[in-house]
Chain A
């Protein structure tokens, strides 16, 4: 891909982020503008900011990649990522705002008055944050590799360095405007090229075989295998090979491969004829342990995997640390609810686009399933379908949008994780400790992204959602709606639910053995770990009835009553006393 436009676009996004982060939007006003200067953030602006922070590499690149590789089943991802806000709207948004909590540990402390539960919640915030940061950094690496052939760790290091520097140098000033801008940037960066791509597709005669199973090559295409892979053929395949296939060297010979597995060595070039269906492939090499195994369990048990995905994404959104802190910006509970409705609209609009890229990718770039770079489909399509300067410019726009996605999500997450590290983990508070916290918050996922490598972005984010759904969803839902919740119950529920999901994720990432039922259970933990978390929390709470915190009734009344009512009560009390 031509990088002469893309690199400046990415550089522009990065520099703009650094400058805004360093100087902020310095809007100084005189007192005559006072009411403008002190207007609280409206629901629509806040919603754009939440969406900007939320739409990560998984949404921008990952969904299109998954749809490309696995077809329409993967549309559950955008549905789940959006529907999470519906659950948040119905059960959590307004009470959470009224609790006055800024972070999830704050909520635990406000509801249960327990330092131990607070610290535990802090630990899970850090865990979920790190899990979520990991795929963002990998996505950045992938993007830069596709654009410039840089080594695949460089993009992650750049994003990590930029974000750490801006956050540590005094936080992101005027972060609401920046994030809201990032949302519109991301939407534009997907929408404009998508329109052109659809036009190109129309001009091409609107071929509608996008979701044929499996995807097929529309024209003769040569694929270079970078890392070596195993083709698993259901039916015989005719292919022209340059390189080593099944241990034998070929130089441009036509091969008739029978059904069954075939090893293709690194550096081999395969030329597929038009109309050939794209074979399923397993990449070699230790760093690719996750992607095929998770995909395998999905193909083996599609129903279970889909339900696992639905539970994780529907219930996990409410526990994402960088989303929760944004609700504090709303002035009151009703505004928090309106914000969530607006978020639903904005995110819903955005998620119409990635599936378009995925579908077009199946038509025009099906070989990406072989090279393991399916996440790059969004970046490659403009050049592939339109070409020339126009294609390059659109490609540059998409690349800039992708980096905006990394930067906004990563900075939001880093601030949330660093805040928790500073407040609840590192010994004393202070500005210097916040910097240390920032470095720590970034160093761990960066190291992991260099070491682990190779998981599809949307899948890895799904794991973070699973942990969040198993630990914070029970805490928030029961904390808001059940008056008999006790601190030991909350702690046990988070430990058992979230802890087991975390272990399942760790086992999956470490590449636990083979296919089969246990593997599917570990790869899609939410379906059992969320009920487990709820059950533990309820049972342990019921077993410790003496530990219901004093003042629970008053706290729940504050969560659920609109603020105005509450103030009236107070003033009546004051008048009575």
Chain B
């Protein structure tokens, strides 16, 4: 048994030591002591404390973020108790005198209404209560009062009123930034919604025309094509979920190609090389079909003879690599760059830049489209799709 305990100690002690050391290192990124005059030292200390309180507040004013930041804010002010409230109630009370919660909430109506600070004495039955005086300062974002910061002290102090005002203003700035963050996220979400899946009107028109041309000569073929058309439009008009699997997307591409081939016949040859391992990968809905559409367009542009399109999906460790290549007219790289930067309006559709934007928004800037092309040299588009990305989950058709 003693052996067991010894083994346990041997195993656990270094771990604890390592954890303690890591904690110290991450908590104090730079040594604060021994640098500059005492005044400068105090400034550093204050700035450091403020920087510690900032990250939680950047997520907005909630019970959790208030709890995380309250202690550092109190040490910034040096008071006996500090309380953060929203318009409804006390979010967190840090320090002594928590029994004043209700009293303070009763006195908050004024500051919440006017947006102006207030200082008032507290009535207390407990003789040795350390909290006798409260300074209430509102937290405002865009002239809306989101909540208050209440600093409590044993006696009235003009210094505390001033300091609490400054700290409240600093907290307000952080909350404003949080608000900005939120609106930026909402903007991105709205953009993704706006960008999603528009199949081109030309395609609908052309497909229907092709089907019409078969109705008399080959009704069976026309029926098949109509079903392909129905499948493709059902996929592209579906409304739930922003993501799909590579397998579903490839099936949509197959329906699309069936319709295109009905129109162009033997002029269009397509080869597929798909690693089955990557078929379950999740990806933004309809983000490969526009690339294939683009390849078809470029491949047949200005060339009366055949065009060959190659679609490859490879397994590359933690990523799937999808390559779409055509041997068509190609494009001037400068013009393409301008189109992707939305500086020039493209001749046909917004396919490429739309896909590029969506990929960057979902996976980050290093997962945009990689396009290799030159005039007359075809075009090769490479997409790297991570197999796992937080928040990206396919919804099945």
Contacts and interface: CB of A to CB of B under 8 A. Distances in A.
Interface of A: 24, 26-31, 33-34, 37-41, 100-103, 106, 109-110, 113, 170-171, 173-176, 328-332, 415, 418-419, 422-423, 429-430, 434, 495-496, 499-501, 503-504, 507, 516-518, 521-522, 528-529, 532, 546, 558, 563-564, 567, 570-571, 573-574
Contacts of B257: 31
B12 interface: yes
Nearest to B387: A102
Given A331-B279, A495-B15, 9 more contacts: A38-B272, A41-B277, A109-B390, A175-B315, A329-B276, A331-B245, A500-B8, A507-B10, A518-B4
Contact of A103 (B7, B273, B316, B318): B318
A423 B276 contact: no
B271 interface: yes
Contact of A415 (B240, B280, B317): B317
A504 B317 contact: no
A113 B390 contact: yes
B241 interface: yes
Contacts of B19: 495
Contacts of A100: 282, 388, 392-393
Interface string B300-331: 00000000000000111110000000000000
Contacts of B388: 100-103, 106, 110
Contact of B11 (A38, A39, A504): A504
A328 B280 contact: yes
Interface in B1-54: 3-4, 6-8, 10-12, 14-15, 19
Nearest to B67: A546
Given A30-B269, A31-B254, A38-B250, A521 B276 contact: no
Nearest to A563: B396
10 contacts: A28-B273, A38-B254, A38-B274, A40-B280, A103-B388, A170-B316, A171-B315, A173-B275, A419-B317, A528-B4
Contacts of B271: 28-30
Interface residues of B, number: 49
A499 B11 contact: yes
Contact of B15 (A34, A496, A567): A496
B275 A40 contact: no
Contacts of B387: 102, 328
A30 B258 CA distance: 12
Contacts of B316: 170-171
Given A102-B388, A521-B4, A564 B396 contact: yes
- The majority secondary structure among interface residues of chain A is helix
A537 to B, nearest CB: 14
B272 A30 contact: yes
A535 to B, nearest CB: 12
Contacts of A504: 7, 11
B240 A29 contact: no
Nearest to B317: A419
Closest 10 CB pairs of A and B: A500-B11, A518-B3, A517-B3, A102-B387, A106-B388, A574-B240, A102-B388, A34-B254, A31-B270, A41-B276
Contacts of A434: 317
A547 to B, nearest CB: 9
Contacts of A176: 276-277
Contacts of A113: 390
A110 B277 CA distance: 21
Contacts of A106: 388
Contacts of A573: 240
Contacts of A496: 12, 15
A418 to B, nearest CB: 7
A41 B279 CA distance: 9
Nearest to B10: A503
B261 interface: yes
A522 B7 CA distance: 7
Contacts of B245: 331
A113 B390 CA distance: 8
A39 B276 contact: yes
Contacts of A430: 366
A27 B3 contact: no
Nearest to A107: B388
A366 B390 CA distance: 56
Contact of B315 (A103, A173, A499, A516): A173
Nearest to B392: A100
A558 B245 CA distance: 17
B251 interface: yes
A521 B254 contact: no
B64 interface: yes
Interface in B223-277: 239-241, 245, 247, 250-251, 254, 257-258, 261, 269-277
A500 B13 CA distance: 10
A192 B11 CA distance: 46
Nearest to A177: B276
A499 B15 contact: yes
Contacts of A110: 388, 390
A423 B254 contact: no
B213 interface: no
B206 interface: no
A518 B250 CA distance: 59
A499 B315 CA distance: 33
A571 B280 contact: no
A30 to B, nearest CB: 6
Contact of A37 (B67, B272, B317): B272
Given A113-B390, A500-B11, A521-B4, A34 B275 contact: no
B275 A174 contact: yes
Contacts of B392: 100
B121 to A, nearest CB: 34
B395 interface: yes
A367 to B, nearest CB: 36
